[in-house]
Amino acid sequence: MSRRLPVAMAIGIGILVLLDRFITNLYLDALGMFFLDTAVILAAFALLVGFVNVFTVHVRKIRARRPGWPYSTILVCFSFSVFVIGWFGPSTPLLQQVFRSVQYPLQATVASLLIFFIASAAFRTLKVRNLESLFLVGVVVIVLLGEIPLSAQVTALKDWILSVPALAGVRGLILGVALGTAVTGLRVLMGIDRPYSK
Amino acid sequence: MQVIANILSESGIEPKAALLLAFLLIFVPALPYLRRRIIDGASPQLRPIPGFKALQQMTGQSMETGRPLHLSVGIQGVGNQNAAQTLAGLTTLEYLARETAVYGAPPIVTVADPTAFIVGQDVLRRAFEGRSKTGRFARDAVRMIAPDPVAYASGVMGILSREDVLANIMTGAFSAEYLLIGETGVRMGIHQVVGTGNPQALPFMLATADEVLIGEEMFAGGAYLAKLPTHIASLLIQDWMRLLIVLIIIAGIIWNTVF
């Protein structure tokens, strides 16, 4: 019973929500919306559990003085402070100021590292070692040159590369992922695969 | 298939949705049938995927050296359209956890989404219970870093830099923030096996990782690593679906060209 109940619930609710996606029916729509709203509430509680985990992991690290424990101290202090500030609502001026002055600049700073990492990865990757890498470097050069108003032919070739072979490859990739997603969903809906229970 | 689509349309289902449902319904009986055939002894030929071979080697080295592997299941959870990619990462986690439950260090698992955290902790716990090693299960083996992708990448960069991980395994939904983690792994000289279904992140993975699971290869973990009959049957179903779609596309091209 303890094994069958979660499986039965998962299959039943999953099929209901799936049918809601395909069939237009007033009662099915209401039921589907109810389950989706329930999932959102569960996800919010999961976020709380995750927050407790963050605290636990870093407090243990501080106690054991493992490498990087000063960073964990800063993280714990700031997390707790923002938690307390945010307790009074998401639109409080102080919380908005914290996000504007701390969160967004820090996010932008770390994200800006991407440009340097892209250059570093490109420098390491674009080396002619064999025929395949020669082909890759050639295509990269054509696409880069096609972005500047150097030659109409090069720009046309660049457009063709991006809109025909590259797009075909991406579409094939997306199709494969979609099929994998569909079959994974089928496995879970049929109760054959149970990541939530054994 | 058109007959099924017509029946479904008359039931109040939209035509496009009806065709999609009909396409899926064709393969519903095939899955348990193929699963039964495989359990009874059929062994379909699977092409070798270097990424999974490397993953098995890394797992063996982790057991020998006692150094943990870092595993990420992606920046998404199990409640959105990328749930399948997260489940693929959790399948890899289950394999790693089962293998290292008895010997070696348990993997360090990082997640960005709270729903993935809950399921990941459960997968890890069940893997240890399955090997009767519940005492070795530590709750903080699964770490929730941050829901924000950039913050998550920063946290993982710190883990790769400070903790003595043997290899970095990342299978799931990722985007551009992967490059921050990938470059850190390259700088630290850590072997990396990664996979995603997002075309935006794949170029970064190919530039930084030693082995890449491209797109749907990520979903084959259960078949290659744990040899699960259900997952092997799923690969066959995917091949049949792909073949059917290709035939429909070719037929459509010929139809549009000729008529």
**Which domains are present in chain B?**
2-43+232-258 (no CATH), 50-227 (3.40.50)
* pLDDT value at residue A1: 61
Q: How confident is the model at residue B9 (pLDDT cuts 50, 70, 90)?
A: low
Using pLDDT thresholds of 50, 70 and 90, give the confidence band for residue A196: low
Q: Is the pLDDT of residue B175 over 60?
A: yes
Predicted structure pTM score: 0.88
- Whether A194 has a pLDDT exceeding 80, the answer reads no
- Contact of B179 with chain A, judged by CB distance below 8 Å, is answered with yes
Q: Are A196 and A2 in contact (CB under 8 A)?
A: no
The pLDDT, as a whole number, for residue A5 is 83
User: By CA distance, what is B153's nearest residue in A?
Assistant: A110
ipTM: 0.87
Residues 20-59 of chain B with CB under 8 A from chain A are 20-21, 24, 27-28, 31-32, 35
A residues 32..51 contacting B (CB < 8 A)? 39, 42-43, 46-51
Backbone phi, psi, residue B72, to 5°? -120, 135
Cβ-contact B79, A39 below 8 angstroms: yes
pLDDT per residue as tens digits for the range A142-155: 999 999 988 899 99
3-state secondary structure of B147: coil
Q: How confident is the model at residue A20 (pLDDT cuts 50, 70, 90)?
A: confident
pLDDT digits (tens, 9 = 90+) for A92-140: 898 999 999 998 999 899 889 999 999 999 988 888 888 988 998 999 9
- Indicate if the pLDDT at residue A198 is higher than 60: no
Q: How confident is the model at residue B133 (pLDDT cuts 50, 70, 90)?
A: confident
Instruction: Map out the domains of chain A as residue ranges.
Output: 1-87, 91-117
Contact A53 B87 (CB under 8 A): no
Dihedral, B199, B203, B208, B212 alpha carbons, nearest 10:
50
pLDDT in tens, B185-194: 999 999 999 9
Cβ pair B219:A184 closer than 8 A: yes
Question: Within an 8 Å CB–CB cutoff, is residue B14 touching chain A?
Answer: yes
pLDDT at residue B151 in the model: 92
Residues 6+ apart with CB under 8 A from B79: A39, A43, B115
